[in-house]
Chain A
Amino acid sequence: MVEALVILLLIVAAAITLFPIVWMVGTAFKPAGQYFTDPPTWFPLPPTFSHFLSIPSFLVGYRSLLNSFVTSGVATVISVAVGTMAGYGLARLREDGDRLAIWFLSQRMLPVIVLVIPLLLLIHSIHLVDTWTGLIIPYVGLNVPYATWMMRGFYNDVPIELEESAMLDGCSRLSALWKVVVPMVVPGILSTAVFVYIFCWSDFLIALFLTVRNAVTAGVELTAFSGGTSVFYGELSAFSLVSALPILAVGLLAQRYLVRGLTLGAVKG
């Protein structure tokens, strides 16, 4: 009896979770007249691909995906590279590195809105507004502290004896790090990379401030489908679907490290 109630509640929760998503997918394929009907049109009949095809006529269309992909990708590579090295240094410095580590962590608490206004002014002064680099710089700046903090946590789980025996065998510290330690934290590197990537791809505020047209990311592109009084729901849903898929895929792949990334390393999950 209790079993059945539990299952029922979970199914209701799942339904509430899935309903908006399913509705969006449906709208992406609905002919325009079927968005808002009474009674509601549950299934698009006949389904149409026209919305996906008319996306290019809004702002920069699919190019925004390329912009997101490049800026997020490059920022992720740089942030994780810097963070992997810095995290190691901090972890091995033990208590001496603690205060520095906390400073890095505190950067994550900074509200983005405080940063974004001066960043716009600064990036404007070096003529990098609306460029890939103009986005990559803030993304790297915001994620290096996070990546450093997370990697430090992963290195703390690797005993120092490993490097020491490698160095006894003649390696320099750097090559011991590269050959012995890094292979042990590869899962940590990957999961940190996933979170940095998700953070960059989901960013809205920074891209909103720092792009105008050329470097518009997926998030900003979405705003092009809604103008004043009229909203192009079909195209909006179609593009939402397309732009949400990368993170969904990546996030589901990194399920195992989800909790650790979400709680900034505090919960190992």
Chain B
Amino acid sequence: MRESLGQAVSGGDSTVALGGMPGIPSRARREYTLMVVPAIVITILVGLFPVLYALWVSFHRYEVLSPEHVFTGWDNYRNVLTDPVFWQSVARTALYVAIVVPCETIVGLMLAVLVERRAWTRKAFFPVLLLPVLIMPVVVGFLWRQLWEPRFGAVNEVLGILLRTRVDIPWLTNPTAAFVALVVTEIWQWTPFMFVVLLAAITAVPEEMREAAQVDGAGGWAEFWHIVLRIITPVMVLAISIRTLDAANFFATVYTITGGGPGTSTYSLVYYIWNLAHFGADGTASAAAFLFLLMLVIPASTVLAQIVRQQSVHR
């Protein structure tokens, strides 16, 4: 039935693929491809071409104001790779990601498990716990900037109330404290992402599986969740991959809360690159950006593979 439909509709020659299912008639194929062309053109112009241009820029001494573009070979790359601040930024970004992603995952999972239990908790707590993810990162940064203010800032004040003593942690002027401040801010903003995704995953676990787990004498709560956890693992891995990639790009919090300071002690990789570009060293900034890109290729491909695998499961 389907094959005859295909032939009647296409009007052109139809190709029959192996297995008996009709392939896409060539006229239809042309029309479909045509529809994709604008998207391809735009993506090449704004997505691919600038990247290639940046590669070219990274091999020159390039300043926006000066018309001179001197070819400098590997100089820019050498400058970046021998800059201790660059490596500190790399290490700091790696440490940052290594801390925030597990924290967000564990807390997010906990919240999802707790909220999922009853319909009323879902209705009541979901919109509230979701909020931080919907606030612009810049706003979140400035929001927390005010809280981290050392002198009578809300964090020190609340800590003081809880610990019944005067608390005067120099959040913005001490490198370690500043790092902690950034980490906490990030966790506050992005745990809801994990929460929302994991909640959806847990909710999607078919009722029969849950009942079966309990009937099979899966002794108690722990056994039951052991099974649910196994089922949601693919989604959890996906969410962790996406979050890792996004966290590695952290910039807004650094810009708004610490300005990279004190000194350069809270530079993230993106902030480091921004700083180079901000002071006109576009060639060096592009070189650093490409090194950054190189470092992210593996995590990015992992995310890509995860998403594709998840999508094909649903096909």
Residues of A within 8 A of B (CB): 6-7, 9-10, 13-14, 16-21, 23-24, 27, 35-40, 82-83, 85-86, 88-90, 92-94, 96-97, 100, 102-107, 109-122, 124, 137-138, 140-142, 144-145, 148, 153, 156, 161, 164, 167-168, 173-174, 198, 201-202, 204-205, 208-209, 218-219, 222-223, 225-226, 231, 233, 236-237, 240, 243-244, 247-248, 251-252, 255, 258-259, 262-269
By beta carbon, the residue of chain B nearest A78 is B42
Give the complex CA separation of A221 and B308 in angstroms. 38
Give the complex CA separation of A144 and B46 in angstroms. 10
B129 CB to nearest A CB, Å: 6
A-B pair number, CB within 8 angstroms: 298
Judge whether B87 is part of the interface by a CB distance below 8 angstroms.
no
Residues of B within 8 A of A (CB): 5-6, 8-9, 24, 28-29, 31-36, 38-40, 42-43, 45-47, 50-51, 53-54, 57, 62, 64, 110-111, 114-115, 117, 121, 125-139, 142-147, 149, 151-154, 157-158, 188, 192-193, 196-197, 200-201, 204, 235, 238-239, 242, 245, 248-249, 251-252, 255-256, 270, 273-274, 277, 282, 285-286, 289-290, 292-293, 296, 300, 303-304, 306-308, 310-311, 314-315
Q: Is the CB of A201 within 8 A of B136?
A: yes
Q: Is the CB of A204 within 8 A of B252?
A: yes
Name the A residues within 8 Å of B39 (CB-CB): 82-83, 85-86, 104, 144-145, 148
Name the A residues within 8 Å of B138 (CB-CB): 202, 204, 219, 222-223
Selected A-B contacts with CB under 8 Å, 22 pairs: A6-B114, A10-B115, A10-B125, A14-B129, A17-B132, A18-B131, A36-B153, A85-B39, A86-B40, A92-B32, A115-B54, A117-B285, A141-B42, A168-B5, A219-B136, A223-B256, A244-B136, A252-B127, A259-B196, A263-B242, A266-B235, A269-B200
Give the complex CA separation of A244 and B153 in angstroms. 22
Q: Is the CB of B304 within 8 A of A109?
A: yes
Q: Is the CB of B57 within 8 A of A121?
A: yes
Residue B239 contacts which of A85, A153, A263 (CB distance < 8 angstroms)? A263
Q: If the complex has contacts A96-B24, A106-B304, A117-B57, are A266 and B36 also in contact, measured as CB distance less than 8 A?
A: no
Name the A residues within 8 Å of B196 (CB-CB): 258-259, 262
Q: Is the CB of A14 within 8 A of B125?
A: yes
Residue A268 contacts which of B5, B57, B144, B314 (CB distance < 8 angstroms)? B314
Name the A residues within 8 Å of B311 (CB-CB): 153, 265-266
By beta carbon, the residue of chain A nearest B239 is A263
Name the A residues within 8 Å of B192 (CB-CB): 17
Q: Is the CB of A251 within 8 A of B53?
A: no
B159 CB to nearest A CB, Å: 12
By beta carbon, the residue of chain A nearest B282 is A117
B5 CB to nearest A CB, Å: 5
Give the complex CA separation of A27 and B306 in angstroms. 43
Name the A residues within 8 Å of B135 (CB-CB): 21, 244, 247-248
Q: Is the CB of B146 within 8 A of A24?
A: yes
Interface core residue of A36, A164, A266 (most chain B CB under 10 Å): A266
Q: Is the CB of A115 within 8 A of B296?
A: no
Q: Is the CB of B147 within 8 A of A111?
A: no
Q: Is the CB of B154 within 8 A of A23?
A: yes
Q: Is the CB of A115 within 8 A of B200?
A: no
By beta carbon, the residue of chain A nearest B147 is A20
Q: Is the CB of A264 within 8 A of B5?
A: no
Q: If the complex has contacts A109-B303, A121-B57, are A16 and B249 also in contact, measured as CB distance less than 8 A?
A: no
By beta carbon, the residue of chain A nearest B39 is A86
